[in-house]
Amino acid sequence: MARILTGIQSSGRPHLGNILGAIAPAIELSKDPNNESFFFIADLHSLITIKDGPLREEYVRAIAATWLAFGFDTDRNVFWRQSRVQEHTELAWYLNCFTPFPMLANAHSFKDKSERLADVNAGLFTYPVLQAADILLYDANIVPVGKDQKQHLEMTRDIATALNRQVGQDILVLPDARIDERLMVIPGVDGQKMSKSYNNYIDIFLPEKELRKAVMKIMTDSTPLEEPKNPDTDITFQLYSLIAGEPEVALMRQNYEKGGFGYGHAKQALYEMILEKFSEPRRIFNYYMENTAELEQKLVEGEEKARQIAQETIKKVRKALGYGS
Ligand code: ADP
Ligand code: TRP
């Protein structure tokens, strides 16, 4: 039985890139009966950038509703908010004291973000330590993440090894990153990586009119309607291929190549395909965003399960470090 664990920061509503690149593949992995999945919302990490409580809460709900909308089974797995299980922050402190300062100072993510962000706080600096605590609290074996998180997983292993060595026992389990190299980077409406930070994302849960508007913003070249077009360099076609089935994609390719088919037609087809393919997730997402008490109930149930496991780990760590029995 492998224990899979991953977290998503509550720093915005999930977009098509997050869904196709992270959420849907993690849910697929959770369906394997040999796996036990621990998925949480990293709402403490998001305090680094989002200080507005109600806004952060709104994003927490949107992320939780997305996991549920894409079929995460919360009865068989564990699903919770990081901030409600205090052991995350307690373990993070212990781990801080086993983390060499240069390891954090040289982290790629810190270097990148400290150049871009106006508010470079200590939370940004110790971000990887809280992430290590998230993982080590639950004895996770496999952590599915994007390529950008590879270094954070290496740090988690190094920090765990340092603590284990100090206490002379393997109390923390070393996790492995699962980085799916086949997963492509989903392009945004401007052709760069789809990201909240570039404001080029498609939010598939928007009401129809707004969703259509977002799709219509996709950039194209200026080939006139009558002329044949190259599907392989076109963003609309790329997004369409990620969502539609094979026969529909083949038909779309023909439309591009034969000419007389404009980019407006292609975008309309993409918009309709999003509505069709995601009709059930859209329905479930909206249901939970309206019935927040039910969503809250699922999170509270998950928090209880998570807390029990976290408390056991903390007890072992406290004892090993000489903080009582
Ligand atoms: P953003 O860039 O929008 O801030 P995050 O960095 O919060 O997204 O990413 C959350 C998860 O979604 C990560 O696992 C990341 O690898 C994945 N992800 C984000 N954007 C994309 C994308 N454009 N294509 C594929 N996966 C993505
Ligand atoms: N740092 C991750 C990201 O930005 C989010 C995260 C926080 C995480 N804690 C984690 C991912 C633990 C995996 C495991 O995408």
Same structural domain, 58 and 162: yes
Model confidence at 206, in pLDDT bands (50, 70, 90)? very high
Q: How far is the CA of 56 from the centre of ligand 2 (A)?
A: 16
Domain presence at residue 58: yes
Q: CA angle at residue 78 from 77 to 79, to 5 degrees?
A: 120
Active-site amino acid positions: 113, 193, 196
Domain presence at residue 70: yes
Same structural domain, 176 and 241: no
Is the four-CA dihedral 222, 226, 230, 231 of positive or negative sign? positive
Burial class for 248, CB neighbours closer than 10 Å (0-12, 13-18, 19+): middle
Q: What is the distance between the alpha carbons of residues 309 and 137, in angstroms, rounded to a whole number?
A: 8
Model confidence at 325, in pLDDT bands (50, 70, 90)? low
Q: Which of 134, 138, 154 to mutate to test the pocket of ligand 2 (most atoms within 8 A of CB)?
A: 134
Q: How far apart are the first and last CA of the chain?
A: 30
Domain range for 113: 2-185+292-321
Please state the atom number of ligand 2 nearest to the C-alpha of residue 82. 9
Same structural domain, 153 and 18: yes
User: Does residue 149 have its Cβ closer than 6 Å to ligand 2?
Assistant: yes
pLDDT digits (tens, 9 = 90+) for 212-230: 999 999 999 999 999 999 9
The whole-number pLDDT of residue 324 equals 82
CATH number at residue 18: 3.40.50.620
The whole-number pLDDT of residue 156 equals 98
Confidence check: pLDDT of 290 > 80: yes
pTM, rounded to two decimals: 0.94
Residue 41: nearest ligand to its CA?
Answer: 2
Reported for 20-27, long-range contacts at CB under 8 A and 24+ positions apart, including other chains, are: 20/186, 20/242, 21/146, 21/183, 21/184, 21/185, 21/186, 22/144, 22/145, 22/146, 23/66, 23/67, 23/70, 24/70, 25/144, 25/180, 25/183, 26/144, 27/67, 27/70, 27/71, 27/72
Same structural domain, 69 and 213: no
Domain count, the chain: 2
Same structural domain, 230 and 317: no
Same structural domain, 163 and 230: no
pLDDT digits (tens, 9 = 90+) for 68-121: 999 999 999 999 999 999 999 999 999 999 999 999 999 999 999 999 889 999
Percent over 90 (pLDDT), the chain:
93
Model confidence at 185, in pLDDT bands (50, 70, 90)? confident
Same structural domain, 169 and 61: yes
Q: What is the distance between the alpha carbons of residues 60 and 73, in angstroms, rounded to a whole number?
A: 18
CATH number at residue 234: 1.10.240.10
Confidence check: pLDDT of 184 > 90: no
The whole-number pLDDT of residue 157 equals 98
Domain presence at residue 39: yes
| Alpha helix positions (H), the chain | 16-18, 24-30, 53-69, 87-96, 101-105, 108-116, 122-136, 150-167, 208-216, 235-243, 246-258, 263-277, 279-290, 292-321
pLDDT digits (tens, 9 = 90+) for 138-154: 999 999 988 889 999 99
Domain presence at residue 199: no
Confidence check: pLDDT of 241 > 90: yes
